Amino acid sequence: MLAVPLLAACEGPLSTLTPAGPAAVEIARLWWAMLIGSGLITLLVMAMLWRALRRQSQGRPRLAAERRWIFGWGLGFSLAVLTVLLGFGIWIGERMIARDDDTPLVEAHAGQWAWEFVQPGPGGQPVTTQGVLYVPAGRPFDVAITSSDVIHSFWVPRLGGKMDAIPGHRNVHRLMAAAPGTYEGLCAEFCGLGHSFMNFEVVAYDPAGPLPDFADAEEGRE
Amino acid sequence: MTWLARALAGPMLWGALFSAVYALHGAGCNLGWTQVSLGPVDLHRGAMWAVWAAGLAVHVLLVVTMPAGQGRARRIIVAGSLIGLVASAFTLFPVIATSTCF
Amino acid sequence: MTKGPRIDTRNDAIDTDAGIAANPPRRALPLHRELDEVWRDLPGWRGFFTSVNHGTIGKRFMATAFVFFAIGGVLAMMIRAQLATRDGAFLDTELYNQIFTMHGSIMMFLFAIPLLEGLALWLLPKILGARDMAYPRLSALGYFCYLFGGIVIVLSLLFGVAPNGGWFMYVPLTSKTYTPGINADVWLLGVTFVEISAMAAAIEITVTILRCRAAHMPLTRMPLMGWYLLGTAVMMLVGFPPLILGSILLEVERAFDWPFFDVARGGSPLLWQHLFWLFGHPEVYIIFLPAAGALSTIIPILSRTTILGYGALVAAVIGLVFLSFGLWVHHMFTVGIPHMALSFFSAASALVAVPTAVQIFAWIGTMWEGRVQFRLPMLYIIGFFATFVMGGLTGVMLAMVPFNWQAHDTHFVVAHLHYVLVGGFVFPMLAAIAYWMPLICGRWRVRGLGEAAFWLIFIGFHGTFFIMHLTGLLGMRRRIAVYPENAEFEWLNLVSSGFGMIQAAGFALFAFDVIMQWMFGRRSWRNPWQAPTLEWAMPLPAPSYNFASLPGPRQPDAGALLPLARGEGLLAGAPRGWRETLVVEPGSGRPQHIAVLATNTALPVATAGAIGSFFAMMLAGLYWLAPLGIVATLVVVWRWGAIMGTDRDHPLVEVAPGLSLPLHWQVRQTLGLTGTMVLLVADATLYGSLLFGVGFLTVVAPGWPAPESGIGTWWMLLPALAALALMAAGVVAARLAETRRTRAGGRLWTRLGLACSALALALLGVLGWGLDDPTRHARDALRGAVLGFAVVHGVIAVMLALRADVDARQGRIGADRRGAVPAWQLLQTFWLGTSAASVAVVAAQEVLA
C-alpha cells in the first residue's frame, strides 16, 4: 500500500530512479540492491548496539569476544560483502563503457552556459544544433564530450551516468534511449554563474519513422 | 622502533606497488603500449601483470618471514604484513581482466 | 577526594620493574606555587599575545574553531533558506556561489582541522604524561597563522569578494580568465596561510607522541588516543603538501601567468584535481581519526571495561593511514579516466571500509562486554553510530563506479558527506567535549541542557540529510541556486530546510550549555568518570604545568594523582625556574634527557605577523613588495634560534633518586632534531608532488611536446653541476663541523660550509637567469618551480649554516654541545638530494626531447 506513493515519489524528468535506457536501468538496479543490503546492515548494527547498551555483562573470556567481534564481524563479514559488491560493480561498469567499435558518434560541446551538438542528419550529413541532441531510439550511441572554457559535465539522468567536459580533453560516453521520447539533460559540474540553467534535451526519435527537424532549443526555454 | 618499521613494510610496499601499477597504466595508455604485442597479451597488460606479480611475491615473502614471539609488537607486525598483502591483492586485482584504456 | 573504584587495567599495565625510585614526598601546595610561577601565562591582554602553554593554546584553538563553526553554520542556514523554494529569491547567484564555497571551506579548513588540532594540543601532553607539547612556540605560531588567515577569509565575505568557485576550486573556473577578481586568491593565499598551523601541529603532534611520553611507557602501551593522533599527524604531514603545492602553483599561475593548468600551453586542469584530492581524500580520514581516538578512549570508560582489541585497533589505524592515500581518484570517476584505473580506486575505496568496520565492531564489542553507563557523552556516541554507519554505507555505494557516475555531483553526495563528517567528526567531538569539559573548566554540567541539545541536533540532522539522498537521486545537482522546472524537488528541500533550522537551534543550545557549565556549573570532583588515563591524574581544572612531578612506571595511571601532586614522580617542581619536561626514547619510553621549553614570548605572534605581511601583499597584488614580507619573516625567525642554545655546560639533573639526565643542550637527539626530520618528511612529499606534476603533465596533458628548449647547452650544465658540487662540499663541511668541533680550527668548517652554501645559492640565481620564459609552456613553468624549490631550500640551508657559524663564534659549540650543526646537516643534505634529482629530471627531459 505504501509502495505506490513511494514509487510515485521516485519519478521525475531528472530521476535516476525512472530509468529509460540500459545503463540507467542497470545502475538503478544496483542502487535498489545496495539500498536493501545497506538497510539490512544498518538494522543489524543498530540491533547489536541496542543489545550492547542493554546488556549487563558477566565478564566472559576476552579472547573469544575478540575473535567474534574483530575477526568475525569486522574482517570476515565486511570483506565478504565488499568483495561480492565490488565484483558486481566492476562487471556492470565493464559492460557500460564506450569502446572502440562501430557505435555511431555524436558530439557534445559545452561552453558557458550552453550546449552545442553535432549529430548525423539527413543522408548522414552532420547537423549542428543548440541545446537539443537528436539520436535514434533503441540503438546505443557514443557522445564525444568537449569544452571550450571551464569544466562542465554531460548528464542525462534517465539514460545513464555523467561524463565531464574538460578543456583540452575529449571524453567518450556511451548511452542509449530504449524508446522514443524527450529526455532532460543538464550540466552537472559547477561552472559559474549560469550553472543552474545550463540544461539541454535529448530527443530520441524512432529510427523507422521520418527524421526529426533538428530544430534548436527555443530561446528562453529555461 | 625497528618493529614499527617492520610492521609498516607491508603497507609501504602496497603504496609503492599501487603507485607503480597506476603510473604504468597511465603511461601505457598514453604511450600506445596496447599496440605492442607480447605473446598472448599486449605490452601494457604484460607489464602491469609482471609488476603486480613481483610485488605480491615480495608481500608473501614479508608474510612468511615474520618474526616468531609474543606480545603486541609482534601482533602489529603480523597485522601490518597481512594488511599489505590483502591490500595489494584486493586493490590491484582489476589488472587481471578489466579493459585497459577505455 | 581519594581515588574511586579502579578499572581493571591489567591488559594495559606498564612495566613497573623499570627501577625508577620514587622522589621523597613534599607538600603539594608549595610545589604547585613553585611550578605555577614558572608555567602560567602573563596576566591580562599580554597573556593573549605571549602565551605558549599548550593548555591555553589548545583551548584557544577549540574556542576559535567553534566561532568559525557558528559562522559556517549561519552560511548553511542561508543556503537552506535559498533552496527551500524552487525560485529562491533570498540570494542572488553570485552571492549564493560565494556562500556555499565559504560554507565548505570554513567547515573544512577553519573548523574541523583546527578543532582536532586544538584537542590534540590540549590533550596530548596530559594523556601522555608530559608538561607541554614539544614546541610551545610553534603551537602559538600556528594559532596566530590560523587566526589571521581565518579572519581574512571571513572578511572577504563581508566585502563581497569571497571565493566563489566551490570549496575544491576546480580550474579553469578559478583561473585568472574566469575569476578575474581576487576571490580565488583569497582562498589560495588564505588557506595556505592557515595550513601553516596544520603543518606546525602535525610536526608537533608526531614528535610529542614519539618523545614526550611518560617514562617507560612503550609505544605498545600508550593510550589508543596516542596511536590515533600519531596516525592523524603522519597523514597531515603527507596529505597537506599536495594541497599546498597545488595552491602555490595556481596562485603563481594567477599572479605571474605560469601555465601549470592552462591546456593551451601544456598544462592540464586535471593536475589540480589530482593534487587537490590527493589531499582531499586523506583529509576525510585526518578528520575522522582523532574523533575515532576519542571514541576509543571514552567508550571503554563509560562501559566500565577495557577496550576490545587494542592491537586490532592499532592495525586498523595503520590500515586507514595507508589506504586513505589510495582513494583520491574516486572523486574523479567522471573525468574520463579508463575503467581499469577506476577499478583500482573503486577497490581501494571499498577496502578502506574494512578497517572502519573493525573499529565499529570493536567498539560495539567493548560495550557488549561491559556495562554501559548512560551519561551525556554516551548519548553523542549513540548519535555517532546511528549517523556514521549510514554515511559509511553510502560511501561504499559511491565507491561503485557505475553508481558514482549517476550520483556524483548530486545532493546524494551532499547527504553522504554530511553523514560522514557530522557522524564521524561532529558527534564524537561533542562527546569528547562533554567528556573532557570537567578537566577544561573544573566544573560539572547543568543537568538537562545537554540532553535537549543532543536531541535537537540528532533529529535536526537526520531530518535535513536523510531525505536529501532521495533529492539527489531524483536528479538535483549540487551548487544550483534555483530549480524552477523541478517541482518534485521542492517538498524535499523544504523539509530539509525546516529540519536544518532545528539542527541549528540544537548547536546553539550546545554552545549555551558549554557556557553555562563554564560559568555556573558546580565544582567537579577529581576524575569524575573514574578513568584510568593520565590526564585525570591531576587536579581540576588542569593546572598550567599539568603534573607537579611527571609520571613514571610507579605512577602508571590516574590512580597516582596524589603521589604525583606530592612530587613523588620524576622531575618534581621547577627548581631551576625553567619549563622542563622529560624526553624519552621513541620506542621503549626510556628517559633520555630533559627538554627546557620556551616560556612566554611574543615571538610567535610577531612571526605570524611577518608571514602574514607576505600573504597580504600577495593578496593585494603588490608582488614587488612581497619579498619584504619574506625578509621580515627571516629576520624574526632568526631570533627563534637565538634562544635555543647555551654557551656553557650544565650539570646533570637528578629526575629521581639514582637517575640523572642531561639537559637538551648537551645531547644530539634533541626534540628539535627529531622535528627537523619530521619536517623533511613533509618537505619530501611536497617535492614528490612536484615531480608527480612534471610526470603527469609530460605524459597526460595535451600541448606536448614542448617548444624547442633554449637551455640544452653546455653552459647551463656547468653552473648546475658547480652548484651541486658546492652543496656537496657544504654537506662535508657540516659533517666536519660536528666531528671536529673540539679541535683547534674547528670553527673553520662552519665558515667554509657557509661560504659553499652561499655560493651554491648564487649559482642557482645564474641558472634562473638562463631559464626559458616560464610563461611560454608548462614545461618551462615547471622548471621554474623546481628551481624555486631549490632556491627556497638554499635560503634555509644558508640560514642554518649562518646560525651554526654564529653558534661556533659565540661559544655555543663544545664537547657536548652542537648548536645548529645537526639540523644544518639534515637540511644541507636534503637540499643537495632534491637539487640533484631536479638536475637529473631536467637533463632527462633534454636528452629525451
Residue with cell string 544498518: A42
User: Which residues of chain C does A42 touch, with a Cβ-Cβ cutoff of 8 Å?
Assistant: 389-390, 393
Of the pLDDT bands very low, low, confident and very high (cuts 50, 70, 90), residue A60 is low
Phi/psi at B37 (5° precision): -85, 140
Distance CA C733, CA C749 (A): 5
Residues A84/C330/C503/C76 CA torsion (nearest 10 deg): -160
Predicted confidence at residue C233, as pLDDT, reads 97
Nearest to A55 among C358, C368, C479 (CB): C368
The pLDDT score that the predictor gives to residue A4 is 65
Which 671-710 residues of chain C touch chain B by CB within 8 A?
A: 695-696, 699-700
Helices assigned H by DSSP within C181-223: 183-211
For C199-229, the pLDDT digits (tens) are 999 999 999 999 999 999 999 999 999 999 9
CA distance C786 to C687: 8
**Domain map of chain A by residue range?**
15-96, 105-205
Query: Percentage of residues in chain C with pLDDT exceeding 70?
Result: 98
Q: Model confidence over B36-77: pLDDT tens digits?
A: 887 788 899 999 999 999 999 999 999 999 888 888 889 999
| A105-205 is a CATH 2.60.40.420 domain | yes
**Cell numbers placing C702:** 595535451
Q: Is residue C508 pLDDT above 60, yes or no? A: yes
Question: Which member of C339, C362, C370 has the closest CB to residue A70?
Answer: C362
The pLDDT of residue A220 is above 50: no
* 3-state SS, residue C307: coil
The three grid cell numbers given for residue C735, joined into one nine-digit string: 659533517
Residue B101 lies in a domain: no
Residues C514-555 pLDDT 10s: 999 999 999 988 999 999 999 999 999 999 999 999 999 999
pLDDT of residue A219: 59
Q: Three-class SS of residue C447?
A: coil
Cell of A106: 555524436
Find how far residue C804's CA is from the centre of its chain: 29
- Dump pLDDT digits (tens) for C228-261: 999 999 999 999 999 999 999 999 999 999 999 9
Q: Residue C15 pLDDT > 60, yes or no?
A: no
Q: How far apart are the C-alpha atoms of C282 and C348, rounded to whole Å?
A: 13
- Touching subunits of C (3+ CB pairs, under 8 Å) are A, B
Do C368 and A65 count as a contact with CB atoms less than 8 A apart?
A: yes
Q: Give kind and range of the element (H or E) at residue A90.
A: helix A78-96
CATH number of the domain at C705-848, please? 1.20.120.80
pLDDT reported for residue A89: 95
Listed in order, strand segments (DSSP E) in C571-652 are 579-584, 591-597
Is residue B47 in a domain? yes
Give tens-digit pLDDT for C668-696: 999 999 999 999 999 999 999 999 999 99
CATH topology of domain C52-520: Cytochrome C Oxidase; Chain A (1.20.210)
Q: Return the C-alpha torsion angle A47, A52, A54, A56, nearest 10.
A: 150
Which residues, 6+ apart, have CB-to-CB distance to C89 below 8 Å?
none
The rounded distance, in Å, linking the Cα atoms of C157 and C170 is 20
Count the Cβ atoms, other than its own, within 10 Å of residue A205.
17
Percent of chain C residues topping a pLDDT of 90: 88
Chain A hits for C477, CB-CB cut-off 8 Å, are 186, 188, 195
Task: Tell me how many degrees the CA angle C726-C729-C730 measures, rounded to the nearest 5.
Answer: 90
Cis amide leading into C541 (omega within 30): yes
Per-residue model confidence as pLDDT tens digits over C605-651: 999 999 999 999 999 999 999 999 999 999 999 999 877 788 889 99
pLDDT at site C194: 97
Q: Which helix (H) or strand (E) holds C828?
A: helix C821-848
For C135-165, letters b (16+ CB in 10 Å) and e give bbbbbbbbbbbbbbbbebbbebbeeebbbbb
**Are C423 and C466 spatial neighbours (Cβ–Cβ below 8 Å)?**
no
Measured in angstroms, the CA of C347 and the nearest CA of chain A are apart by 7
Cell of C470: 532521495
In this prediction, residue C607 carries a pLDDT of 97
CA distance C656 to C86: 72
Inform me whether the pLDDT recorded for C11 exceeds 70: no
Helix or strand (DSSP H, E) at B12: helix B2-31
Q: Which residue of chain C has the CA closest to B8?
A: C318
Q: What is the DSSP string of A8-19?
A: HHT--TT-TTS-
**Which of B90, B98, B102 is opposite residue A98, by nearest beta carbon?**
B102
Please state, in angstroms and rounded to a whole number, the distance separating the CA atoms of residues C180 and C56.
41
In angstroms, rounded to a whole number, what is the distance separating the alpha carbons of residues A76 and C44? 58
Distance from CA of A14 to the nearest CA of B (A): 27
Give the pLDDT confidence score for residue B67 in this predicted structure.
Answer: 84
User: How many angstroms separate the CA atoms of B11 and B59, rounded?
Assistant: 9
> Does the pLDDT value for residue C17 go beyond 60?
no
Q: Which residues from chain A sit within 8 angstroms of residue C94, using beta carbons?
A: 193
| Model pLDDT for residues C109-133, shown as the tens digit of each residue | 999 999 999 999 999 999 999 999 9
Looking up cell 599536495, which residue turns up? C242
Question: B41 lies in which domain range?
Answer: 2-95
Nearest chain B residue to C210 by CA: give it: B1
For residue C821, the distance in angstroms to the closest alpha carbon of chain B comes to: 25
**Average pLDDT rounded to a whole number, residues C803-818:** 90
Domain boundaries, chain C: 52-520, 705-848
**Angstrom distance (rounded) from CA A82 to CA A37:** 11
Q: Does B16 touch chain C (CB under 8 A)?
A: no
Count: domains in chain B: 1
Helix (H) or strand (E) holding C654: strand C653-656
Per the domain annotation, does B100 fall within a domain? no
Residue ranges of chain A whose CB lies within 8 Å of a chain B CB: 83, 90, 94, 97-100
Which pLDDT tens digit goes with each residue over A162-185? 999 999 999 999 999 999 999 999
Which residues from chain A sit within 8 angstroms of residue C701, using beta carbons? Answer: 168
Pick the residue with more confidence: C451 or C15? C451
pLDDT per residue over C420-431, tens digit each? 999 999 999 999
Closest CA to A119 of A218, A202, A182: A202
In degrees rounded to 5, what are phi and psi of residue A118? -125, 125
Quote the Cα angle for C423-C424-C427, to 5°.
Answer: 55
Q: CB count, 10 Å around CB of C94?
A: 15
Helix (H, G, I), strand (E, B) or coil at C602: coil
Beta strands in chain B (DSSP E): 37-38, 41-42
Cβ-Cβ contacts under 8 Å for C622 (sequence gap 6 or more): none
Domains C52-520 and C705-848 share a fold: no
Cβ separation B102–A90 shorter than 8 A: no
HSE-CB at C497 with a 13 A cutoff on CA atoms is 18
The backbone torsions φ and ψ at residue C145, rounded to the nearest 5 degrees and listed phi first, read -60, -40
Closest residue in chain A to residue B95, using alpha carbons only: A90
Neighboring chain A residues of C178 at a CB cutoff of 8 Å: 112, 149-150, 192
Q: Label residue C375 by pLDDT band (50, 70, 90).
A: very high
User: Sign of the C-alpha dihedral, residues B59, B62, B64, B68?
Assistant: negative
Chain C CA closest to residue A88? C400
Torsion of CA C511, C515, C517, C520, to 10 degrees: -150
